[in-house]
Amino acid sequence: MAVWHHRRMSTIASRTEFTVTEKRSRFVALAAPASTLSDAEAVVAERRKHHRKARHHSWACRLRDETGRVVEQARDDGEVGRPGMKLLELLRGAELEGVIVVSRFFGGVKLGPAGVGRACRDAGAGALAALAP
């Protein structure tokens, strides 16, 4: 878990979804508000229930702790290509607080680490792009 001191960040205020299909695998991203690590973990748990047939649920979150420091976490959920870090990089780049979860439905064709990482990043970027300005 990394802790950073940063300038003011924007907060993800509403939920948005975006789907990317890569060689028959479907990557469904959700960007959602989360003000605590428990909130972020609850969003991930909800996605696991909602997308039971998904093989992996990679995620990342950035939020502030009680002292105002930025806390970051990224999880790959056994997926190759470090998708959790790719999602965290999206949140950092946009200077956003909140959580992004990408659920992968395997389509029968192995994508390799680069393909998985790229598809997760693209799905997450699409969900962030759909946020209201």
3-state secondary structure of 102: strand
- CB environment 12-38: b (16+ within 10 A), e (fewer): beeebebebebeebbbbbbbbbbeeee
Longest dimension (CA), the chain: 46
Distance, in Å, from the CA atom of 7 to the CA atom of 131, rounded to the nearest integer, reads 21
Predicted local distance difference test score (pLDDT) of residue 7? 52
* pLDDT per residue of the chain (133 residues) written in tens, 0 to 9: 444 444 566 899 999 999 999 999 999 999 999 999 999 999 999 999 999 999 999 999 999 888 888 999 999 999 999 999 999 999 999 999 999 999 999 988 899 999 999 999 999 999 999 986 6
Asked whether 25 and 110 are in contact (CB, 8 A), the reply is no
* CATH classification number, 2-129, choose in 3.40.50.10860, 3.30.230.30, 3.20.20.140, 1.20.140.160: 3.30.230.30
Distance, in Å, from the CA atom of 100 to the CA atom of 75, rounded to the nearest integer, reads 11
Distance, in Å, from the CA atom of 11 to the CA atom of 21, rounded to the nearest integer, reads 28
